[in-house]
Amino acid sequence: MVRKILSLLILGLFFYSCGKIDLPDPPKKGEKNEPGKVDPLKPSQRSDTISVTEALTTGNDSTYYTIVGYIVGYANRGHKGFVLDLPSESMACILLADKKNNTDHLLPINIGSPNTESRKILDLYTHPENLGRKIMVGGYLEKYYGVHGIKKLRAFEFLENKDTISQQGKTSQLPTLETREQVLEGR
């Protein structure tokens, strides 16, 4: 009798865990904003980029967007943990704002798990020089940390002449720093 109940319980849990998975619609042919296809043009030359404020006022429709902003901090444990400084450990989320000094509207961007190329390049702990840098990111807008954000970063590019990053994050020419303290002292 116990075996039958246990078998039914396991079977019930199996079917209960098989819920519907909502996948984003595939991009239509001919669209400029396809995943991994961030054009290396400057934002002033692009008509399909949006600001951080525009991204925050757009619905969570899982649409692919290209967003331009400045890296101003990181997120730690949800939207109440937004920190506008350098982290003391590696974090999986950076914050973007429209301007370096205007942090009224913040957009969280998940930069991936520790072994991904995007995390290696964008993590503020290993690259504190990225704080305040202008960047263009591409991804699907969805609910992240309780607000609009990008859970899955598809492409990124720094928008400064001194450093270049390929649209898929494969080519990095970021300056190598002796120590983290040098950057903190130079702020």
Tell whether pTM > 0.85: no
Instruction: Please give the pLDDT value at position 96.
Output: 92
pLDDT value for 136: 92
Q: Are 94 and 124 in contact (CB under 8 A)?
A: yes
8-state DSSP, 165: B
Choose the weakest-confidence range: 1-5, 13-17, 156-160, 169-173. 169-173
Res 167: pLDDT: 38
The tens digit of pLDDT for each residue in 136-150 reads 998 888 887 677 788
**What pLDDT band is residue 104 in, cutting at 50, 70 and 90?**
confident
Of the candidate ranges 9-18, 83-92, 145-154, the one whose mean pLDDT is the lowest: 9-18
Cα 131 from Cα 8, distance rounded (Å): 54
When pLDDT is averaged across residues 167-187 and rounded to a whole number, the result is 39
Please determine, for residue 26, whether its predicted confidence score (pLDDT) is greater than 80: no
CA distance 155 to 167: 6
Residue-averaged pLDDT of the chain: 72
The class (CATH top level) of 45-186 is mainly beta
The predicted pLDDT at position 44 comes to 39
Residue 105 CA to residue 84 CA, distance in Å, equals: 12
So where are the chain's domains?
A: 45-186
